[in-house]
Chain A
Amino acid sequence: DAKTTQPPSMDCAEGRAANLPCNHSTISGNEYVYWYRQIHSQGPQYIIHGLKNNETNEMASLIITEDRKSSTLILPHATLRDTAVYYCIARLNFGNEKLTFGTGTRLTIIP
């Protein structure tokens, strides 16, 4: 799996958009970008994933640069419940391909 780099921590005001960056400059052509988050003392929660097109679901949007070397996860209207550690992972999308977690970004939503 390609290595990903994320800032260790970020703050965002409640109600504003939270933009979480991720660098994956060594990503290969068939590796997807996955985002998970982990709220304190819980298992990780899947958020979104994409290959090269931008993706949106009910939780977030994923913007992937054209060269695929970086991406941004956007939480459009952050709430206090979005406070968590967010993990960006590059991986192949088949079979028993494992998810390897880095250190992630600790996002704190400020009231």
Chain B
Amino acid sequence: GAVVSQHPSRVICKSGTSVKIECRSLDFQATTMFWYRQFPKQSLMLMATSNEGSKATYEQGVEKDKFLINHASLTLSTLTVTSAHPEDSSFYICSARDGRVNTEAFFGQGTRLTVV
């Protein structure tokens, strides 16, 4: 299957700082990227959907000013957690899809964020 690379895999940051997570599609063009969050022992929860060159669409209850998403190219999307707090500690996962060819979505390996 196609490869989606997410970086970093783990990050620890201080409360009040911002953290950027990158998601890259390595061998295909991702017209659409999805960002998920997963708390321990829970399922993945969709945070937002982004289309290349457009503003992201956020799910209900997700603060767009706190979770900044940029999808400026067909191979890169970034999620920035601004003014992080301990309750933002979670497993963040990106997914990418080329909607023009209706393929399945492929997932990155996830980023474990710990805010101390």
Asked if A68 is at the interface of the complex by the 8 Å CB criterion, the answer is no
- Binary CB contact string for chain B from 105 to 116 against chain A (1 if under 8 A, 0 otherwise): 111111010000
The listed residue (B1, B91, B104) touching A34 by CB distance below 8 A is B104
Contact for A93 among B44, B102, B108, CB less than 8 A = B102
A95 and B93 in contact (CB under 8 A), knowing A43-B107, A43-B109, A103-B43?
no
B99 adjacent to chain A (CB < 8 Å): yes
- Whether the Cβ atoms of A96 and B104 lie closer than 8 Å is no
Q: Which residue of the partner chain, among A34, A96, A100, A101, contacts B99 with CB atoms under 8 Å?
A: A96
Check A99 for interface membership: any CB of B closer than 8 A: yes
Interface size class of B (residues with CB under 8 A): 20 to 34
Partner of B108, one of A36, A43, A46, A97: A43
Q: Is the CB of B93 within 8 A of A98?
A: no
Contact (Cβ within 8 A) B49 A96: yes
Chief secondary structure at chain A's binding surface: loop
Q: How many A-B residue pairs have CB under 8 A?
A: 60
B75 at the interface (CB under 8 A from A): no
Q: Determine if A96 and B51 form an interchain contact, defined as CB atoms under 8 angstroms apart.
A: yes
Contact A42 B110 (CB under 8 A): yes
CB-CB nearest in chain B for A104: B43
Which residues from A are CB-within-8-Å of B107? 36, 43-46
Of B49, B104, B106, most buried by chain A (CB within 10 Å of CB) is B104
Interface members, chain B 31-64 (any A CB < 8 Å): 31-32, 34, 36, 43-46, 49, 51
- Give the most central of A38, A45, A93, A99: most B CB within 10 Å: A99
Q: Is B6 an interface residue (CB 8 A)?
A: yes
B95 near A: Cβ within 8 Å? yes
Query: Which of chain A's residues 60-106 have a Cβ closer than 8 Å to chain B?
Result: 87, 93-104
17 A–B contacts, CB within 8 A, in A order: A34-B104, A43-B6, A43-B93, A43-B109, A44-B44, A44-B93, A44-B107, A45-B1, A45-B107, A46-B1, A46-B107, A87-B43, A93-B102, A99-B46, A99-B95, A99-B105, A101-B46
